[in-house]
Amino acid sequence: MTRIFNNPSDFAEEALAGFCDVYANLVRQVPGGAVRRHRPVQPKVAVLAGGGSGHYPAFAGLIGTGLADGAVVGNIFTSPSAQQAYSVAKAADSGAGVVFTYGNYAGDVMNFGLASERLAAEGIQVENVLVTDDVASAPPSESGKRRGIAGDFTVFKIMGAAAEAGADLADVVRLGRKANDLTRTIGSAFHGCTFPGADAPLFTLKDRQMGLGLGIHGEPGLFDTELPSAKELGQEFVARLLAETPHGAGDRIAVILNGLGSTKHEELFVLWLSVAPLLRAAGYTLVMPEVGELVTSLDMAGVSLTVTWLDDELEPLWTAPAETPAYRRGNAGIPGGEADETAPAEATAAPEAFAAGDASREYAQHCVAALAAAREALHDAEKSLGDLDAIAGDGDHGRGMVRGIDAACAAAAGALSRGAGAGTVLATAGDAWADNAGGTSGVLWGAGLRAFGECLGNDQSPDAAELAAAVAAFAARIAGLGKADVGDKTMVDALVPFVETFSRLAGEGTGADAGWSEAAREATAAAEATAALRPLKGRARPLAEKSVGTPDPGATSLAMVFTVFGPHLAAANIAGANIAGVRQPAGARS
């Protein structure tokens, strides 16, 4: 249970603000996360760790000498937005380039990727290092699909030490990837975690059961077994990791026995007593092992074992000193660089006035009404979407969609009041959605809405064909970013039938309203039909079997939103919005 909070949706922000206040001598809060308080004396590579909240000390607790230069901090279990990643990178960059490092989750990959594109366009050298240590999440032949769990820590530590020692960007990246290639983790869960304000944990296990192969976002274990003794659990962990010994690996290893949030240190020490002798008996020297909480999952009860096979290059980086709020090793001290006392900048977008045609301004009102209808539907469905996502994902889909649509509605209304046309209203709504929702669905919805708006433009109101083109642009952007195909069990499964049906009917001369309703019915049926599928993309993929029988949350919410969009975006009776398939002569349009 998370018992201490105010408004549950402010939990992550308030936790970060409190953390930055306590450790103000070491860290400085910036929009999107936190960076080191002291600027480096010499330009150095900025190692930026990131991901959602709920994993303390990952990721902000690891900011400091010998470790991270900054952390990008998303909402609970939700990828930070591209804007957050960009903003933290700008604050941390000292001229030697930045590297984002994070666990391999679709939302993080997309958001950090988008931020990287933007930084590169500004001439900042930027790289990404993904952590893929969880042996339970994909077979060895697909190790690139594995998710990142407690192995995040060893990879960050090695990269942080390399950057501190003056390695250049290419070398920090090379060492990070090498550390990741040589790192394996297996974990088990005893009890699910509970979101602040939620009345039940994300999953429960039967009495005396354990889930083997846990995730760190409240994803349940991959399969449930009888709760073993500590000795048996140690044997299971060690056997599974040593079965994956990297080819040509040496006999010196870094080891982490990690508690997930509400497993006691004493329990970890008992388990250590079974793990360590087995590793030593297998011929390994254990180099500065760590037993404690390094990557947690709110209040989850669970434990994971991580092994990193060291070589001459990695070992000194693993053992190098570090000084961060949550993790100290040796005597690293605080470097002598100047302390940055700048107050965290507030986002102060200067109010802009927009140029737009009258018909587009009028249609923009319908866009705002469409978003408001979606807002109502998503608020009503928040819990049920979260429950769908909790079956094989992390339970945050309802919350993410609500955060996204709330921000989108506010931004759209603001743009409308400043005279924006439909294109700008939707593009602005998309940016706000992406920035506030985070997560996989957030980045996709945000980028999709922007593409929708850009395609509509700000001159006129669309006819059925133009509306079909805008919906197709929405879908193309989502497909381009997420790279999911139909059948992968994602929102694309509902979106593609919508686009195909609407475009076909628009081409046949059906009015936009009738076409939209038919397309929305197809999308709803397709979303329901995803229940039969196994997820091949996204956070639910490792738990594919558990997901069978339940529709995809993102496809469900997409069908829901497109259904309620219809009466606003495509209604035949929208005054001045010639969208019923009958075009006015060009001269009649403003």
Judged by the rule CB under 6 A, the positions of this chain that interact with ligand ADP are 79, 106-107, 389, 393-394, 396-397, 400, 439-441, 444, 478, 482-484, 490-492, 537-539, 552-555
| Strand intervals (E) in 313-417 | 322-323, 328-329
d(CA 484, CA 443): 14
Closer to ligand ADP by Cβ: residue 46 or 390 = 390
Closer to Mg ion by Cβ: residue 293 or 552 = 552
| Strand intervals (E) in 77-196 | 98-103, 126-131, 183-191
Angle, CA 547 vertex, CA 53 and CA 134 arms, to 5°: 50
CB of 453 to ligand ADP, least distance (A): 20
Q: Do 425 and 364 contact (CB within 8 A), yes or no?
A: yes
Binding mask 386-425 for Mg ion (x = CB under 5 A): ---x---xx-xx----------------------------
Q: Which residue has the tokens 């990879």?
A: 155
d(CA 436, CA 472): 24
Cite the active site residues: 217
d(CA 400, CA 396): 6
d(CA 39, CA 333): 14
Closer to ligand ADP by Cβ: residue 300 or 425 = 300
Residue of this chain nearest to ligand ADP (CB atom) = 554
Binding partner of 543, given Mg ion, ligand ADP, none, CB within 5-8 angstroms per partner class: none
Binding partner of 212, given Mg ion, ligand ADP, none, CB within 5-8 angstroms per partner class: none
Size of interface with Mg ion, in residues (CB under 5 A): 5
Q: Which residues of 529-550 are buried (b: 16+ CB within 10 A; e: fewer)?
A: ebbebbbebbbbbbbeebbeeb
What the block records as the tokens of 122 is 């500004």
d(CA 405, CA 218): 24
Closer to ligand ADP by Cβ: residue 360 or 441 = 441
CB of 436 to ligand ADP, least distance (A): 12
CB of 358 to ligand ADP, least distance (A): 36
Angle, CA 275 vertex, CA 312 and CA 211 arms, to 5°: 115
Residue of this chain nearest to Mg ion (CB atom) = 393
d(CA 458, CA 359): 9
* Total residue length of the chain: 590
Closer to ligand ADP by Cβ: residue 179 or 377 = 377
CB of 315 to ligand ADP, least distance (A): 35
CB of 111 to ligand ADP, least distance (A): 9
Binding partner of 538, given ligand ADP, Mg ion, none, CB within 5-8 angstroms per partner class: ligand ADP
Q: Which residue has the tokens 């609970």?
A: 76
In which element (H, E) is residue 34 found?
strand 33-36
Of 42, 39, 47, the residue nearest 66 (C-alpha): 47
Closer to ligand ADP by Cβ: residue 33 or 325 = 33
CB of 429 to ligand ADP, least distance (A): 17
Residues that bind Mg ion (CB under 5 A): 389, 393-394, 396-397
